[in-house]
Amino acid sequence: MWRSIFEKFLRRLDYSPKRAYASKRVEYETEIMIMKKCLIFNLIVALLFNCNHTNKKVVMDADYLSMLNQNRELRSENRVKYLELAGLFKLDSISNSFGKAASNRFVLNIDYLPPSIGSIHLSEKGLKFQASKNIKVSTETGDQIETLALPIDAFGNSVQLTYKALKWQVITRSGALYLRVWDSKNPAINAFEGFKSYDINSDFIFDANFNYFETAQQETVASKLGVNEVTNFIGQVHFTYKNTPYSLDIGSQGFLMVGDLTSGETTYGGGRYMYLELPEVDGRLTLDFNYLYNPPCAFSEFTTCLYPPRQNLVPFKIEAGELLEKDL
């Protein structure tokens, strides 16, 4: 098609009336030649531009399906543990007791728990756990303890402690301390029906461009906790959908948070995530939205997910990747 259009333009440019003077004809033919060259150049540029960042032809063969399924299985395994979450409490008091009784600062409505498991104390010296009387609490190595200091590691976490099927640790988010609790007998585990996805959609596989920022850019984004988090973005991915160009900010290790018009309808209202395989330097990459997955916040209220930045909200439906029937 492009060739026939191009040839018609050239034929029209080749037409010229007779000139009375040879010098004028030479001048006219020179102008025509210049116009031809300009047209050729502009058409080539247009072709290159329109082919850039557009839908990529991907063969949906066994290798592609195998890679996509492996990725989905890995993501699923990593997120199933969030179904065990039973509580998330901000440690903003000197003494923070937790257990089944209503007298605790943090109440856990779990049948097998005693009235009080223990308490986490905050002081200038740091954090310390104190078990309640006759409550057998164990460390990750199986040692039973009555009291234990809880230093925070480089990742913002303390050690994990256990009582029967209950597990807990202190985590850090936005400079604040929280008590996170897991219950391996949580009814949510058996009630979960599994992860579901759209049919594979080739309309949402793009031949895109990626460019790194000269220096990582910090931006404040909202989180499930209701507080803002400072997040680093290392570059942008550029693609075109239905003749409209879009750019999305990319975080460390190719982490992408994106929201679209399916958010809150058929996918999680707070957007979806995926990881991109980034080039070592600015260049091309495949942007395949079939790899999108719902964040942990879609499956538990006791999570701390980040929401996509405003520039990563696109005004169309990305009908690819993971679905969600229930939006928490």
**Cα torsion at 43, 48, 53, 58 (round to 10°)?**
110
pLDDT > 60? residue 326: no
Structure tokens at 23: 């010098």
Residue 142 and residue 167 share a domain: yes
Structural domain count, the chain: 2
Do 72 and 221 share a structural domain?
yes
Q: Are residues 158 and 244 in the same domain?
A: no
Higher-confidence residue of 305 and 24: namely: 305
- Taking residues 281-301, report their average pLDDT: 95
* 316: in domain: yes
Longest dimension (CA), the chain: 114
Statement to judge: residues 76 and 219 lie in one domain: yes
Q: 42 versus 152: which is more confidently predicted?
A: 152
Residue 7 lies in a domain: no
Tokens of 187: 């009814």
pLDDT digits (tens, 9 = 90+) for 175-213: 899 999 999 999 999 999 889 999 999 999 999 999 999
What per-residue confidence (pLDDT) applies to 153?
96
Q: Which of 159, 191, 223 is the last residue of a domain?
A: 191
Is residue 321 within 8 Å of 197, Cβ to Cβ? yes
Provide the phi-psi class of 189: left if phi over 0, else alpha when psi is between -120 and 50, else beta: alpha
| Neighbour order of strands in the sheet with 137-139 | 85-90, 176-183, 166-173, 161-163, 137-139, 144-145
Q: Is residue 19 part of a domain?
A: no
Domain-embedded: residue 37: no
pLDDT tens digit string along 126-153?
999 999 999 999 999 999 999 999 999 9
Residue 49, SS3 per DSSP? helix
pLDDT at 306 over 70: yes
Burial letters 78-101, b for 16+ CB under 10 A, else e: ebeebbbbbbbbebeeeebbbbbe
The confidence score (pLDDT) of residue 54 equals 57
Is pLDDT at 16 greater than 70 in this prediction?
A: no
Residue 206 near residue 54, CB atoms below 8 Å:
yes
Query: Does 170 reside within a domain?
Result: yes
Q: Please write the tens of the pLDDT for every residue from 66-78.
A: 999 999 998 888 8
> Which residue stretches of the chain are H helix?
2-14, 22-51, 62-80, 187-191
pLDDT band at 29 (very low <50, low <70, confident <90, very high): very low
Residue 247 lies in a domain: yes
User: In Å, what is the CA distance from 214 to each residue of 50, 211, 234, 260, 295?
Assistant: 27, 9, 8, 28, 29
Quick one: 66 and 206 in the same domain? yes
Question: Are 107 and 176 in a shared domain?
Answer: yes
Compare 2 and 130 and report the one with higher pLDDT: 130
Task: Please give the residue that has the higher pLDDT: either 52 or 273.
Answer: 273
Q: Which amino acid, 301?
A: E
Same domain, 217 and 73: yes
Q: Please indicate, yes or no, whether residues 288 and 203 belong to a single structural domain of this protein.
A: yes
Which of the listed residues 176, 191, 206 is the one where a domain comes to its end? 191
Residue 94 in this model has a pLDDT that exceeds 80? yes
* Total residues belonging to the chain: 328
Per-residue pLDDT band for 55 (boundaries 50, 70, 90) equals: low
Shared domain for 163 and 125, answered yes or no, is: yes
pLDDT for 325? 66
pLDDT at 199: 95
Domain termination residue (choose one: 191, 223, 244): 191
Residue 29, in any domain of the structure: no
Residues 200 and 162 in one domain: no
* pLDDT at position 56: 62
Range in 52-61, 90-99, 140-149, 218-227 with the lowest mean pLDDT:
52-61
Query: What pLDDT is stored for residue 10 in this prediction?
Result: 32
Question: What is the pTM assigned to this prediction?
Answer: 0.78
pLDDT, residue 75, reads: 87
Residue-level pLDDT at 14: 40
213 and 311 housed in the same domain: yes
By the 8 A CB rule, do 135 and 118 touch? yes
Looking at residue 80, its pLDDT comes to 86
149-161: pLDDT as tens digits: 999 999 999 999 9
- Mean pLDDT score of the chain: 85
311 by DSSP, 3-state: which? helix
In a domain, 230, yes or no: yes
Same domain, residue pair 216 and 294: yes
Can you give the residue range of the structural domain that contains 141? 91-191
Residue 61 — pLDDT band, cuts 50, 70, 90? Answer: confident
pLDDT above 90 (res 38): no
Q: Which residues contact 264 (CB under 8 A, 6 or more apart)?
A: 327
Tell me which long-range contacts 196-201 makes (C-beta under 8 A, separation of at least 24): 196/322, 196/323, 196/324, 196/325, 197/72, 197/290, 197/321, 197/322, 197/323, 198/290, 198/319, 198/320, 198/321, 198/322, 198/323, 200/60, 200/65, 200/68, 200/290, 200/320, 201/289, 201/290, 201/319, 201/320
CA distances from 155 to 120, 159, 256 (A): 20, 11, 21
pLDDT at 28: 38
> CA nearest 188: which of 67, 296, 319, 311?
296
At 292 the pLDDT is: 98
Residue 150's CATH number: 2.60.200.20
226 conformational bin, left if phi > 0, alpha if psi -120 to 50, beta if neither: left
Percent of the chain at pLDDT exceeding 70: 81
Please compute, for residue 1, the number of CA atoms within 13 A of its CA located in the half-sphere on the CB side. Answer: 1
